[in-house]
Structure 1
Amino acid sequence: MTSTAGMADTADAWGVHPAQFWLRGRAPEAPVQYDAQAGIWCVYGYEEVQHVLANPATYTSDTRRAIPAELMEGADQFREGNLIQMDGLEHRKLRGLISHAFNPKVVADLEPRIAELTHELLDALPADDRMELVADLAYPLPVIVIAELLGVPAADRDKFKTWGTALLKATQDVSFADRTDAQRQQLQDAMRQVSRLNDYLREHVLDRRRNPRDDLITKLVQSEVDGENLSDNEVVNFSNVLLIAGHITTTMLLGSTILCLDRNPEWFARVRADRSLIPAAIEESLRHFSPFAGTARATTTEVELGGEHIPADSLLVTFLGVANRSPKHFPDPDVFDPTRDPNPHMAFGRGAHYCIGAPLARLEGRVALNILLDRFPDLRGDPDRPPRFLPSLSMTGVKELPLVF
């Protein structure tokens, strides 16, 4: 994927969302642009994205102020305990409750369990020298890990996938400038999917209040902030974020790393021969195919950004996937090069909202990739079945990656 034409053809063949123009070798015309059809300000520039993420007082994560009220009917129930929509002291306090579960020692201690699960999942493959990476490993592995940490049955992972997929589909191309009945229905459908997951988690929260266990939900139920226990809604929404965000990044990280190596055989050969290159390959895949390509913010006041005047209460999307291909910061940005040094990508965000599960995602990717290469030295993409990407503007990764070994 070194030529613009070749990248465009490949992106179309893989089903990449049309608006992910950066995967077609194209660069934005300006660092900040207004998308009138979607009703959002698009922040593409590396410095501009950094600035937005580093200034939550001006660019808040609580985007409700910038979304028409008629499109957000019933959404308040998902606000309590939702780290993604918090800033400042409120965010720091709740994040502090869970940070211990992702500190370096706790994460490192999970390595044997991650290896055990990887082997179990690979042992279950059919005996036909083929696999579909996402369904067979990249999805179930991180879901089982985060489910076990939370204390919910990993066997329910098909339910999580159903709810998560429906949520993604329902919110995919919402326009905040188009306040039609169809748009309202689309968002209501999305909230119904969140409600189903929250109802499921609420059962576990109520059970832990009666029957404490050694798991994260119990720790959240028993935690106090300013001398008060978290409400059921706070624990439920907190757990929702951990369950969904806690697996999807790793799913996309593992799929993207294998895809990048498969499309760059010289690098695949080097990684097979020298496993110390795996962490660098993972970092470059995170830059190349940033899992969360866009993150939303809202302005709390009028601002000047990237040469544009943006009113207060405007909705912005910082496109990490575009920023991570800035020629100024990444020479030959469309080339997969694990030797990049430095590699200051923002795939996991920046600032206070830096992905709390990043160390776990990196560990899961490293362990799984090592085991895959140990067991299947000739692992490669299936020539008869191309990869298929998530049909998403905000997320970048494969939903299907057929492999042969």
Structure 2
Amino acid sequence: MTSKQLKGPVVLLEDMPDRWQRLRQAGPVRYEESQGVWQVLDYANVAAVLADPATYSSDLSSLAPTQEDFETFRQGNFVGMDPPEHRRLRALVSQAFTPRVVQGLAPRIEALCAQLLDAVADRDRFDLVDALAYPLPIIVIAELLGVPPEEHRLFQEWASVLFGGDLLGESPDMADLERALEAIAPTIREMNGYVLGHIRNRRAHPGDDLTSQLIAAEVDGVRLEDQQIVGFVALLLVAGHVTTTALLGNAVVTFDRYSGTDAALRADPDRLPLAIEEVLRWLPPFPELGRRVTRPVVLGGHELPADTLVMVHLGAANRDPARFEAPEVFDVTRHPNPHLTFGHGIHFCFGAPLARLEARIALRMLQERFRSVAVPSYEDVTYQNPAAIVAVRQLPVEVVRP
């Protein structure tokens, strides 16, 4: 697709693909002295790191700053665990959060999209994030967990604080992270208390929601403890909410940015799943993942000592010409598209099927409801801090109805 002229100054989100492309020019593996970390930038080495949890651990607790309230969430957050604990917890959670459960959400997601778009039916301009991209996944997750409708706003408020990134610099160091953790501690404490109370209520009064199913899940006679369920709920808030919010906003911006994309997708709606994968490759919401080296190892010709922090760069790997043909081109017909945005190996994103389903339904409904969805001025678009997440924060759009 051909990039169209921006209506305002070039903004951060538009800069990200070129920035990641330039990163790769420094070589596949390099040491970033200012942050004291090794950066892994090519596809083969990124995939190798993610596929080897014995050498590259996901448990960063010995390297990262700690905060008491935040530590309570670690117990069920298997993203930060290694085998065998990771395998055991993921197996337990998988009993409740099955592909069938996710696919069964499709009718409700469609109904919610219709309801949210009905609320702006009389407006030719509205903020896509406020109207659709932000509330949709939060409501889906809250309903899935059995949270009463009147309390859905709590999840929205928590997510806004946890993933706003307002206290982080663009390249945060440990001091920045410590300040950010202290600032969000009251929110973590409030969320922890609420979710624990909800779990205990469901233990006393089981229902057919995911919380009750998590309580009942059992593998080899072992069940999840309350605090582990809290950690998984926190993980769902990330995997099932902010990823979808970012994906929807990034898709609308990218479809608008590249002339002809929207028309091509309307002419052939079956391309939409491929287009979503290309948006994920082009603008991964979380472009970097951290790993701790457990033993001395040679990577990309460099010797990495034990207890070194490695940052694998998904955004740069997704632009590796050794793996992708014309990686600098946004191509909604790209297939296959083996991007690493959802990770690789045992930690492949648990929420990926839900994010894809929500994006597919929401973007299809936008095309059905409106003859066009355009960004009238990029000067009015605001962005999240890319140190926290690559996404738009406010996205005013102009729509034309049939």
With the length of structure 1 as denominator, give the TM-score of the two structures: 0.89
In structure 2, the partner of 1:213 is 207
Q: Deviations over 1:173-203 (max 9, x none)?
A: 4988655xx7533332234432222122111
Q: Deviations over 1:103-129 (max 9, x none)?
A: 443322222111111000000116221
Equivalent-residue separation in structure 1 for 2:188 and 2:151 (angstroms): 16
Pairing 1:38–2:38 present: no
CA contact (8 A) 1:22 1:322 kept: no
Question: Could you tell me how far 1:278 is from its partner in structure 2?
Answer: 0.6
Change (3 A) 1:258 1:357: same
* 222-231 vs 120-129, greater mean Cα deviation: 222-231
Equivalent-residue separation in structure 2 for 1:335 and 1:377 (angstroms): 26
Identical-pair percentage: 42
In structure 2, the partner of 1:227 is 221
Q: Deviations over 1:122-144 (max 9, x none)?
A: 00116221121111101111111
With the length of structure 2 as denominator, give the TM-score of the two structures: 0.90
CA contact (8 A) 1:32 1:44 kept: yes
In structure 2, the partner of 1:59 is 56
In structure 2, the partner of 1:130 is 125
Q: How does 1:3-42 map to 2 (within 5 A)?
A: 13-16=10-13, 20=16, 22-23=18-19, 26-28=22-24, 29-42=26-39
Q: How does 1:3-402 map to 2 (within 5 A)?
A: 13-16=10-13, 20=16, 22-23=18-19, 26-28=22-24, 29-67=26-64, 71-74=65-68, 75-125=70-120, 127-168=122-163, 169=165, 172-173=168-169, 184-383=178-377, 385-402=379-396
Question: Could you tell me how far 1:281 is from its partner in structure 2?
Answer: 0.6
CA contact (8 A) 1:53 1:351 kept: yes
Question: Could you tell me how far 1:171 is from its partner in structure 2?
Answer: 6.6
CA contact (8 A) 2:58 2:292 kept: yes
Change (3 A) 1:234 1:396: same
Equivalent-residue separation in structure 2 for 1:53 and 1:324 (angstroms): 14
Counterpart residue identity of residue 72, structure 2: Q
Equivalent-residue separation in structure 2 for 1:174 and 1:335 (angstroms): 26
Equivalent-residue separation in structure 2 for 1:318 and 1:146 (angstroms): 29
Counterpart residue identity of residue 33, structure 1: R
* 49-58 vs 24-33, greater mean Cα deviation: 24-33
Counterpart residue identity of residue 108, structure 2: R
Secondary structure of 1:317's partner?
strand
Question: Could you tell me how far 1:285 is from its partner in structure 2?
Answer: 0.5
Q: Provide the alpha-carbon RMSD of the alignment.
A: 2.7
Q: Deviations over 1:200-256 (max 9, x none)?
A: 211101111211111111122223344243222111111111123211111111112
Equivalent-residue separation in structure 1 for 2:28 and 2:295 (angstroms): 20
Counterpart residue identity of residue 115, structure 1: E
The size of the alignment, in residue pairs, is 396
Secondary structure of 1:88's partner?
coil
Counterpart residue identity of residue 237, structure 1: G
Equivalent-residue separation in structure 2 for 1:177 and 1:371 (angstroms): 41
Counterpart residue identity of residue 317, structure 1: M
CA contact (8 A) 1:148 1:154 kept: yes
Counterpart residue identity of residue 160, structure 2: T
Change (3 A) 1:367 1:220: same
- Structure 1, unaligned stretches of length 5 or more? none
Equivalent-residue separation in structure 2 for 1:119 and 1:293 (angstroms): 31
- Structure 2, unaligned stretches of length 5 or more? none
Change (3 A) 1:306 1:105: same
CA contact (8 A) 2:125 2:396 kept: yes
Change (3 A) 1:90 1:27: same
Equivalent-residue separation in structure 2 for 1:346 and 1:362 (angstroms): 14
Change (3 A) 1:177 1:145: closer
Question: Could you tell me how far 1:101 is from its partner in structure 2?
Answer: 4.5
Counterpart residue identity of residue 168, structure 2: Q
Change (3 A) 1:379 1:73: closer
Secondary structure of 2:62's partner?
helix
CA contact (8 A) 2:67 2:185 kept: no
Counterpart residue identity of residue 282, structure 1: I
